A and B are shown apart, each in its own frame.
Chain A
Amino acid sequence: AQSVTQLDSHVSVSEGTPVLLRCNYSSSYSPSLFWYVQHPNKGLQLLLKYTSAATLVKGINGFEAEFKKSETSFHLTKPSAHMSDAAEYFCVVSGGGGNKLTFGTGTQLKVEL
């Protein structure tokens, strides 16, 4: 069985300040972990993925995430938020073969001037 918990349903930051979106996972297997972003009325876009290589993963648009097995966490960060980052972010886990994805409940990121 696998699951993800996104610890914050809403996060609000000022433009130019760091972003931290928190995610904890549970998996019976060695997991693959992903972050997806969904802008309003747009499709899902893959931000980054972890698949047992380097624990610090760099993605698109300046985002990165660190896989910490001891803490079962995969938090998403960005050094400086931009207005265009405002969107819904989903932490996702895949494991045990079959590529079935389990989505977290999502974190709504708001970026203020």
Chain B
Amino acid sequence: SAVISQKPSRDICQRGTSLTIQCQVDSQVTMMFWYRQQPGQSLTLIATANQGSEATYESGFVIDKFPISRPNLTFSTLTVSNMSPEDSSIYLCSVVTSGYEQYFGPGTRLTVT
């Protein structure tokens, strides 16, 4: 398994501002992902965070809105840029272990006013 922490755990932000969410893993992992869970909804994959190269974004998500960094094998950040109320969601990072199991962080609950 893997122990994943996220910062901040929650935040309330004003529209037009940006928030950077951090994800830290207790071991080196090759694959890290960022998901969004909108209120009352299921999880949607935003992007795959690749170490040493640009993130790979899913349809409907763009780098200008959700820039991602992956400086090493234990850490990643997701920035939600120029926020609007529609960005209010829980943002989760996840990692894949050597056993091909995917573990999730506790999430960052974002409210945009």
Contacts and interface: CB of A to CB of B under 8 A. Distances in A.
A46 B42 contact: no
Contacts of B31: 98-99
Nearest to A106: B42
Interface residues of B, number: 19
A12 interface: no
A49 B101 contact: yes
A104 interface: yes
B43 A103 contact: yes
A63 interface: no
Interface residues of A, number: 20
Nearest to A43: B106
B107 A105 contact: no
B100 A51 contact: yes
A29 B47 CA distance: 21
B86 to A, nearest CB: 19
Contact of A43 (B41, B44, B105): B105
Contacts, number: 43
Contacts of A102: 45
Contacts of A90: 42-43
B103 A100 contact: no
A42 B9 CA distance: 11
A20 B92 CA distance: 28
A103 B100 CA distance: 16
Contact of A101 (B41, B102, B105, B106): B102
A77 to B, nearest CB: 21
Interface of B: 31, 33, 41-45, 48, 92, 94, 96, 100-107
Interface of A: 32, 34, 36, 42-44, 46, 49, 51, 90, 94, 98-106
Given A44-B43, A104-B42, 4 more contacts: A98-B31, A98-B48, A99-B31, A99-B100
Pairs A-B, 6 closest by C-beta atoms = A44-B104, A43-B106, A103-B42, A103-B43, A99-B96, A105-B42
